[in-house]
Copies of this chain bind each other. A is one copy, B any other.
Amino acid sequence: MALRRGPTPWKVSLWARRGEAVGPASRALPGCLVTNDLREALEGAGTVVLCTSPGAIEASGPLLADILPAETVVTDAGSVKVRIVAGLEKSLGGRFIGAHPMAGSEQSGISAARADLFDGAPCILTPTSASCPEALARTRQLWSEAGCRLHEISPAEHDRTVARLSHLPHAAAAALVHAATCAGSESAWLAGSGYRDSTRIAGGPESLWAEILMDNRDAILPAIADMQSALEDLKSAISAGRREDVEGFLATARRLRSPEMSSQQ
């Protein structure tokens, strides 16, 4: 939908994994080919975007190498990059360029699709020394025309960064729901917008997120431990009656959250 806007819309073909998704997806993408047949969807494609779960993206290399002509560029939208990039560079070589658009919500499926989803959202590209310059140029063009602001870092730096800024928030939201409701969830309707916003992402699909947390475990485990320590620091200050330390903890958090972020949507 994002690539179909604008003066020169992209020609888009969509492969629907489930047959029953073909109808709704066709209606959401008028003028595009939507099919349950993978080879039909890939026929004549200049650039292929893999948008399944990280495990399925990682496993798709040999099949794609078999189907696609050598000049087809491949990119993805997976939340974890080290394993995906290593696996797909092995199967596809330098024409695979890893990407992670930092957009979306707790919703999934074609009914959650929005043409403006990527507008202004960061997209991390993770080219390596093996990347083909033309593939990188075409991948930059695709995510940029979809509306994203591009940023390029290594797959390892990506995984460390998103462990803190994307995967840890998900773990924290789920843990917050557990702790907030462990005395009974019947008063949850009393919660204000703070609780609702803080736990929104905990409404996301658990199978996808379990896969992400397992895939990026080396970076996530120390991030969770740091969150536990931060809570311990706060608990100790409250418990010991050190009000100035409690206020300092909150003031530092407010500052670190940085003003330019709070103005974004």
Which residues from chain A sit less than 8 Å from chain B, CB to CB? 102-106, 121-122, 124, 151, 160-162, 164-166, 168-183, 185, 187-204, 206-207, 209-211, 213-214, 217, 220-221, 223-235, 238-239, 241, 243, 246-254, 256-258, 260-262, 264-265
Closest to A250 in B: B206
Known contacts A182-B230, A188-B261, A225-B235; 16 further A-B pairs (Cβ under 8 A): A165-B180, A165-B195, A174-B249, A175-B234, A175-B253, A177-B254, A177-B257, A178-B230, A180-B223, A189-B260, A197-B198, A210-B246, A221-B235, A224-B234, A227-B231, A228-B235
Are B200 and A262 interface neighbours, CB within 8 A? yes
Q: A254 — which chain B residues lie within 8 A by C-beta?
A: 174, 177, 202-204, 206
Are B171 and A234 interface neighbours, CB within 8 A? yes
Are A221 and B250 interface neighbours, CB within 8 A? no
Contact status of A247 and B196, CB under 8 A, knowing A188-B258, A221-B239: no
Bound-state CA distance A225–B179 (Å) is 8
Contact status of A165 and B188, CB under 8 A, knowing A206-B251, A210-B246, A243-B214: yes
Bound-state CA distance A235–B246 (Å) is 26
Show 19 residue pairs from A and B whose CB-CB distance is below 8 angstroms, ordered by the A residue. A105-B193, A165-B190, A165-B192, A166-B191, A169-B199, A174-B234, A175-B227, A175-B231, A179-B223, A179-B229, A182-B230, A189-B260, A191-B261, A194-B200, A198-B201, A203-B257, A206-B250, A224-B235, A231-B231
Q: Which 8 A-B pairs have the closest CB atoms?
A: A206-B250, A174-B253, A102-B192, A210-B247, A175-B230, A179-B227, A179-B226, A178-B230
Are B247 and A177 interface neighbours, CB within 8 A? no
Are A202 and B250 interface neighbours, CB within 8 A? yes
Bound-state CA distance A256–B184 (Å) is 9
Q: Which of the listed residues A103, A170, A198, A203 has the most CB atoms from chain B within 10 Å of its own CB? A: A198
Bound-state CA distance A161–B200 (Å) is 19
Bound-state CA distance A106–B194 (Å) is 9
Tell me the minimal C-beta distance from A265 to chain B in angstroms. 8
Are A194 and B170 interface neighbours, CB within 8 A? yes
Tell me the minimal C-beta distance from A193 to chain B in angstroms. 7
Q: A121 — which chain B residues lie within 8 A by C-beta?
A: 192
Q: A206 — which chain B residues lie within 8 A by C-beta?
A: 247-248, 250-251, 254
Closest to A231 in B: B175
Closest to A165 in B: B191
Q: A173 — which chain B residues lie within 8 A by C-beta?
A: 194, 198, 253
